[in-house]
């Protein structure tokens, strides 16, 4: 076992056997009954809709997204927190299946702050808020696959706040 991991675990008061990553991040897979082309347009439109700080005025973090690059198969963006301006990198990979009538979205959000370990589900909410805001949670065949191991503090995430 790597000595640095033991030291970090001791400082944080956790066990090295605790489930979950040692850096605040989230990986989610979504399965949607829509073509990836439609999913792509909905996600890009939502990111562009939430670029300003105005979405933060009512609370929550449905704001301060910045599109970095986009193609029908890959979308990259950044999200900044409205209070401390912490930044997370966001990646979506879109893969068609079922003769191109459905889309598998592999999504990842990871905190840029190297020492971020716990994030109250912020990285999960960065991704989920975009999926929910774009209406994709209501799409035919919607299914989410993730776990506490893949998403830091997902089980306690409150996406109305984060």
Q: Is pLDDT of 86 > 90?
A: no
Q: Where are the domains of the chain?
A: 21-156
Percent of the chain with pLDDT over 70: 82
**CATH superfamily label, 21-156:** Fungal kinase associated-1 domain (3.30.310.220)
Q: Is pLDDT of 13 > 60?
A: no
Q: Is the dihedral of CA 133, 56, 148, 115 positive or negative?
A: positive
Q: Would you give the distance in Å from CA 108 to the centre of its chain? A: 5
Is the full-model pTM beyond 0.75? yes
Q: Let me know: does 117 contact 23? Beta carbons within 8 Å.
A: yes
């Amino acid at each position: 076992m790597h000595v640095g991991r033991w030291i970090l675990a001791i400082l944080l008061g956790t066990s090295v056997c605790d489930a979950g990553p040692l850096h605040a991040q989230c990986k989610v897979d979504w399965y949607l009954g829509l073509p990836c082309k439609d999913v792509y347009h909905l996600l890009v439109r939502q990111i562009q809709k939430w670029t300003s700080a105005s979405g933060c005025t009512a609370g929550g973090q449905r704001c301060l997204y910045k599109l970095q690059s986009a193609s029908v198969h890959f979308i990259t963006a950044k999200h900044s927190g409205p209070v401390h301006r912490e930044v997370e990198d966001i990646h979506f990979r879109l893969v068609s299946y079922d003769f191109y009538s459905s889309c598998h979205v592999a999504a990842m959000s990871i905190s840029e702050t190297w020492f971020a370990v716990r994030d109250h589900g912020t990285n999960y909410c960065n991704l989920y808020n975009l999926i929910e805001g774009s209406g994709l949670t209501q799409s035919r065949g919607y299914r989410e696959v993730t776990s506490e191991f893949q998403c830091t503090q997902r089980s306690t995430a409150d996406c109305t706040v984060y």
